[in-house]
Amino acid sequence: MKKILIMNGPNLSMLGKRDPKHYGSGTLQDLENACISKGIELGVEVVCFQSESESAIIRKLHTSMGVIDGIVLNAGAYTHYSIAIRDAIELIKIPVVEVHLSDIHNREDFRNRSVIEAVCVEQISGLGVKSYLVAMEKLVNQYMVRNDGEDALCGAQEAAKESEASGLLSEERVAIDAIDKEMLVLFERRMKHVDRIAKIKMKVGKETYAPSREQEILDKAAKGVDQDYAEAAQELMRELMRLSKERQSQIRNVSNED
């Protein structure tokens, strides 16, 4: 089952006592119970956390990696100035919805600005407890926090993709096997010609090594393939020429021994 973290910052522990005009009369426990009930409806597990401490909030964000699938965050006053919390949200790569009970855009000027908004997937404010519930719905429906049934569907889709990819790979490997077989036939033919050239050179007293000829072969290799493969083609021809020289030297040595 996927997990949503409901995270509340400083002074939200005092809900029910703090300025009911802006924050309502319900307690933090009431808010968390509403979120837990919403989680049951959405098919997700809800984990609740509250702290007055900036460092504790940051640590909780860090330890959510690999454990939590989405976060609903009311950072309280830290919303307006905590670059440290902003950085933590950015680095964890978990979708975070910023929420506020009151409408921060119609309050004191200093509350209008959120430094964390840019790294959250959405901001929802002014709906009271409903801000949290709407945020949870958005996480489930839009930001990849799926229930187990959807995970199973996703798993089946991934399996189908893997099966299709496996089939395509098999086709390509069959094609490469056929090409390799042709290349080995051509390689054998080439080496037989190398043998003949070595014997002809021995008869007329020519050296095995021919730098100008090798450069000509490399130039042709680069021009004979798509530009993306030119360098690789030259490396292939260098290896073939190395094998050719070794073969010619072997023939010369055997001949000298005779």
- Rounded Cα distance between 221 and 232, Å, is 9
Beta sheet of 122-125, edge-to-edge order: 45-50, 3-8, 70-74, 96-100, 122-125
104 close to 94: Cβ distance less than 8 angstroms: no
Q: Token match 């670059």: residue? A: 83
Q: Which amino acid is at 251?
A: I
Phi then psi for 96, rounded to 5 degrees? Answer: -120, 125
- As a residue count, the chain comes to 258
Contact (Cβ atoms closer than 8 angstroms) between residue 99 and residue 132: yes
Which residue of the set 22, 23, 78, 229 is catalytic?
A: 23
| Residue 23 bears catalytic tag | yes
Question: Out of 78, 80, 100, 105, which one is annotated catalytic?
Answer: 100
Angle between helices 230-257 and 211-223 (to 10 degrees): 150
Coil, strand or helix: which one is 168? helix
Q: Which of 112, 125, 106, 101 is nearest to 24 (CA)?
A: 101
Closest residue by Cα to residue 104 from 126, 119, 85: 126
* Rounded Cα distance, 71 and 88, in Å: 13
Q: Is 193 a catalytic residue?
A: no
Specify the pairing of strand 96-100 against strand 70-74: parallel
Packing angle, helices 148-204 and 230-257, rounded to 10: 40
Active site residues: 23, 100
